[in-house]
Amino acid sequence: MGDVSSYNSHSLNREFIMSSQDQLKRAVAEAAIAYVPKGEVLGVGTGSTANFFIDALASIKHHIPAAVASSQATAERLKKIGIDVVDLNFAGEIGLYVDGADEINAQLQMIKGGGGALTREKIVAAASKKVICIADASKQVEVLGKFPLPIEVIPMARSYIGREMVKLGGNPVYRQGFVTDNGNIILDVYGLSISDAPALETRLNQLVGVVTNGLFACRPADILLVGTKDGVKTIVKS
């Protein structure tokens, strides 16, 4: 009986933690609504926190002429709440892009791509005047790299890029059974401690066969809305 009680206790604790984390994600997602410009095309990210943001957008959808989605999953979710989704090629410059992050440091440099949409996320971020990251406090780190760095790779280059990652001190793991919206594969690189994120982002981009990597350091977030037990805090890039 003691084992069952212990299992139930751990299960309840895990559910409480997940519920609390979801509450923080929902809080920052709702806080981001105040930054959405009226009458401009909006860029929308991918992932659990971005999903809360999409849910919150339903209340102001009449102010949003269209949105650019960073993934097929996001596009479908936006359409369900009645927001038109347009191709970036026809959208022009985007006023604001809102997305979550897997990790973010004090310089608002991020690791993204846990959901596999890093290439489209990076394109939308690059095409946007302002980028807001919405995250709970667990995503804040001093040094990027504890979360495995995703790299989208042309399938033919998988082994070659894997060997290059080992040379950099990383442990690349092929994300089995996953294909990106662009038809490529992902290597998740464990064991990195990234002290100079812009330099590593640039270096990885030079490797033949890499489509893009999950470092958002050359173009970091402009604003971080972070959910804490004391409420939503706003951090602006200095």
Confirm whether 32 is domain-assigned.
Answer: yes
- Asked if residue 223 and residue 107 are part of one domain, the reply reads yes
In a domain, 238, yes or no: no
Give Cβ neighbours of residue 163 (< 8 Å, ≥ 6 apart). Answer: none
Q: Cα(99)–Cα(197) distance, rounded to whole angstroms? A: 19
Same domain? For 209 and 156 the reply is yes
Show the DSSP H helices in the chain as ranges: 2-32, 48-57, 72-80, 118-126, 158-167, 197-205
Matching residue, tokens 């920052």? 28
Question: Given this model, what pLDDT does residue 238 score?
Answer: 84
| Cβ-Cβ contacts under 8 Å for 182 (sequence gap 6 or more) | 119, 120, 152, 211
pLDDT at 20: 84
Boundaries of domain holding 102: 2-141+218-230
Residues 136 and 154 in one domain: no
Tell me the CATH number at 95. 3.40.50.1360
Burial (Cβ within 10 Å: 0-12, 13-18, ≥19) of residue 86 = middle
Confirm whether 79 is domain-assigned: yes
The set of catalytic residues is 121
Structural domains in the chain (count): 2
Nearest to 117 by CA among 25, 182, 53: 182
Residues 38 and 96 in one domain: yes
What is residue 4's predicted lDDT score, i.e. its pLDDT? Answer: 45
- Phi, psi for residue 183 in degrees, rounded to 5: 85, 15
Full pLDDT tens readout for the chain, 238 residues:
444 444 454 554 554 445 688 899 999 999 999 999 999 999 999 999 999 999 999 999 999 999 999 999 999 999 999 999 999 999 988 999 999 999 999 999 999 999 999 999 999 999 999 999 999 999 999 999 999 999 999 999 999 999 999 999 999 999 999 999 999 999 999 999 999 999 999 999 999 999 999 999 999 999 999 999 899 999 999 8
Do both 160 and 110 map to the same domain?
no
Together in a domain, 10 and 58 = yes
Residue 236 lies in a domain: no
pLDDT value of residue 57: 97
Residue 77, in any domain of the structure: yes
Question: Model's pTM, two decimal places?
Answer: 0.89
- Flag whether 168 is in a domain: yes
Same-domain check for residues 115 and 199: no
Q: Are residues 105 and 203 in the same domain?
A: no
pLDDT score at 19:
67
